[in-house]
Amino acid sequence: MATNFSNKAGILADLWINFRDQEEFADFIEYNDIGLPLAYYIHTEIVLPTQQAEMYVEETFNLLCAALNLDLDGEYETLNEMFDKSSK
């Protein structure tokens, strides 16, 4: 079972808020300058998810999985869980 959209938004929001000043994530944060803040806004219910917004969040989450060398179909609940399961 894959990670649900709500968890994806929460994971990306956590990354954006807590790691955006970390050098090791600088390229990822810069490249995903729409998907990460959008995930945060959706997660905190500042905005409602639209089909296009969901596409940005999904793409950003997929890139995070690739960056961490994790299975796209894995079920993740938190960013820390993803870090623990990552081989990088």
Nearest to 9 by CA among 75, 70, 54: 54
User: Which tens digits make up the pLDDT trace of 52-82?
Assistant: 999 999 999 999 999 999 999 999 999 999 9
CA neighbours closer than 13 Å in the CB half-sphere of residue 28: 21
d(CA 17, CA 5): 18
Instruction: Specify the pLDDT at position 48.
Output: 95
**Count of domains in the chain?**
1
Tokens 């990460």, located at residue: 36
87 has pLDDT over 80: no
86 has pLDDT over 70: yes
30-53 per-residue burial string, b: 16 or more CB within 10 A, e: under 16: eebeebbbbbbbbbeeeeebeeeb
Print the domain residue range for 44. Answer: 5-85
Instruction: Specify the pLDDT at position 88.
Output: 67
1 has pLDDT over 80: no
What tokens were used for 86? Answer: 């990552």
User: Which tens digits make up the pLDDT trace of 6-58?
Assistant: 999 999 999 999 999 999 999 999 999 999 999 999 999 999 999 999 999 99
